[in-house]
Chains A and B, each alone.
Chain A
Amino acid sequence: MAMITFERVAKIYPKDVVGVQEASLKIEPGEFVSIVGQSGCGKTTMAKLIIAEERPTQGRVIIGDWDITDIKQRDIPTLRRQIGVVFQDFKLLPRKTVFENVAFALEVSGASPQQIQSTVPQVLKIVGLETKQDRFPQQLSGGEQQRVVIARSLVHRPKILVADEPTGNLDSINAQEIIDLLKRINSFGTTIVLVTHNREIVNTLRKRVITLDHGRIIADQKSGKYIL
C-alpha cells in the first residue's frame, strides 16, 4: 500500500488560480521524494494537500489507507501527528527554549510529563542539539533552528515528513547538513517529501524527483535530476 496517493487531484483557488491540476502519483513507504519546480508551480500546494491544510477541488488524496479528501476538522490533529512538517521560516516560539519548543508539540497533543521528559532528549540527540537544549532560538544559527524544527516534527514518530523549502533560509553548508539529517531520518524508514527549488541539492540527492510546471506533473523520475 502506498504511503501517499494522489488520484487526479486538482486544487483551484478563487479567481481560477490553478494550484495543482490532474496530479496523480503514488509515494511508497520509506521513499525520499523531491518535488521541484519554479515558484508558483504548485509545489507548496501539494505539501498543503498532504497535511490537509488545503482540500482538493477535484480528485482524491489518500494517506496510507486513510482518504483525507473530505477529512473532518476534528480528525486533522490526528493526521498532523502522523505527518511531520518543516517549513522554510522555522516557526519556532521565540520565548521558549529549544527543549520547550520541541516539548510543545507533545504538550499540546496531551503527552504525559514522563513521555515529554524521555522523548525530547531522544529527538534532540537525533538532530545533534542535545547540548543546546536550554538555548533560545535567537541564540542558534539558521541551520540549528531548522534542526530544532525537524526535532519537533519527529516527536510524534511520524510516518511521513514533509519539508517545504527547509533550506531556503540557509547557506550551502547548513543546507547540506539539513539534507543529510533528512537522509538519516529517511534511513530509519520515514517517508520524506522534500519540496524545493534548489537544483544543487536535488542533483546530489539522486532520489526520486517529481517536477511540476503550472500545477501539472511534467516528470516523475526514479533517480532524477532538476530538469527545468
Chain B
Amino acid sequence: MDTHIGDIELTLTPQGGSAVWRFGLAPERLPAFARAIQEEGGQLLALWGSDDRHLGRGFGLHMVFLSSQGLVWTQADLPAAAPEYPDLAAIFPQAERMQRAAYDLLGLRASGAVDGRKWLRHTAWGEDEYPLRKDAPSQPPPASPTQADAYPFIRVAGDGVHEIPVGPIHAGVIEPGHFRFSVVGDKVLRLEERLGYTHKGIEKRFEGMDLSLGARLAGRVSGDSHSAYTWAYCMAVEAALGFTVPERALWLRALLLEMERVANHLGDLGYLGNDVALSFGFAQFWRLKEDWLRLAQRLFGHRYAFDCIVPGGVTTDLGEADALLDLVRRLRTEVAELKAVYDEHAGVQDRFAHTGRVDPAMAARLGVIGLAGRASAQAWDLRVQFPHPPYDRLEVNMATDRRGDVLARVEVRFAEVFESLRLIEAIVQRLPADPLQAEVPHADGVREGLGYVEGWRGPVLVAVRIGMDGRLDRVHPHDPSWQNWPALEVGILGNIVPDFPLINKSFNLSYSGHDL
C-alpha cells in the first residue's frame, strides 16, 4: 500500500489481517520519519536491534510506531563495521533508554545522543562485549566478574540537598531496582531510576528455542502479564508463518487476557488502599482476587492460566461457564460497593488526589502509554484503535481521565475492571464453536512477524524472527514499562518521600519486563 505520513511517501507492506505495516528505510531518514509520525499525533512504542549478519546484512534497527495508519514497524539496516544511526530521543524521549539498551546488548550506537551511559549492563559483561551478537561466546563465565559497576548518577547540589539511595533490594515484596532520590527535607527534587538488575538474558535465551518453548518463555518475561505476552508472541509467530487460528481459540485468548486484567487491577486497588492505611481495602480486594484466582485454577488448571496460550490456539477449553458468570456478577456488585467506600473516604481521597501527577502535556511528551497514559488523557488502547479479532466485534469502551494523578490511575482501574467484566460476559455468551488449535505449519525460510496485545499495564509487543531451521532466531518482547518508568520520575517531583510507595504502586510497572 502506498500512503503518506506527513510529507513522507511510504510503501507499506501489510502483515496479513492485522494493523501492522512494515516499512524499510535508510538510517539517515529515521529522524524525519519520526518527526512526521509525531506531527500527526503518533508515538514511538518500541525500539530494538538485531544482528542480521548471518543473513548477509549488517545489523537491524527496529522501531514500532503508533500512527493513524496502524502500527508501523520500520527497519533500518546498519553497516556491520560501524552500526550507527541518528539519535531519536530528541524527538521521542522514550527512545533514550531503549537506545542505550540496544548499545549495551548489540553495540548499535545512537550518534548525537545526549545520554551515553550504559543502561542494562551492570557488571555481568564488559564494555566491549555485546551478548546479543550472534558471535558472542555461548558459554557463560563460571562466576560473576568482579569489575565495579561505577554508574554515574546525576547529582543535585545546593543548600540542604541530600540523597536517599533505595534498592536494589526493596523493603516490600516488590521487584528489585534502584531509586536515587535527591531531597530537601521530605520534598523530592529529583528521582533517578537505575534498572537492569533482573536482566537474565531473556532475548538470548529465545535464540534456538522451538516455537512452543518460546511461548513458555514469552509468558515469563513479566509473569503478571503472562497471557498478554503469550498471546502477543503467538500472534507474531502466526503472522510470521501466515496461518490463522480457529475463532474459538481467539475468543478464549481474549477471555484469558481480560481475566488477567481483572486479577491485576483487583490486586492493585487493594494495595492502593493499603498504601493509604485503609487495610480494609487491601483485605477486601485481595479476598476478591483470591476468589478469582481459585476460579481460574478450577477452569484452566492454573491460578494465572499459565501456558494455556500456545502457537496455533489454546490448550484448554472453558468448562464451567456458569461458575465464571456467577463470579463475574458477584464481583460487579462487590467492586461497586468497595468503590463507594473509596469514593466516600475522605482520607483516601485526600491521599489519592493531586498526588504523583503527570499532566496530559507531559504524558504526551514522554509517550506515556497504557493504563498510566489513559489516566493522563493519552487515549490509546490497542483494543479500541486497532482491534484484532475478537476485539473487532466486542466494541471495547476506553477508560480515560485527564487528571494524571494517583486518583486518576485508580479511577481508570475501576472503570477497566467493570469493562473487562462486561467483556468476559460477552465473550462467554458468544464463544464460537470451533476447534481449539490449528496445526502450526513449517517455516519454509526466514519469517518475521509482530504481535500486539493491550495487556493490563499497556501495549505488549513481541517481534519474532524464525530462522531457516524453523527455530527462533530473534525475539524481542517489549513491555509498556519502558516508556512509563520515566513518567514515575516526573510524577514524584514536588511530592514528599512518604508518598513514593503510593505513587509507585499507582503505576505498578514491571521490572522484569523491562530488564529482560
Q: Do A and B come from one complex?
A: no
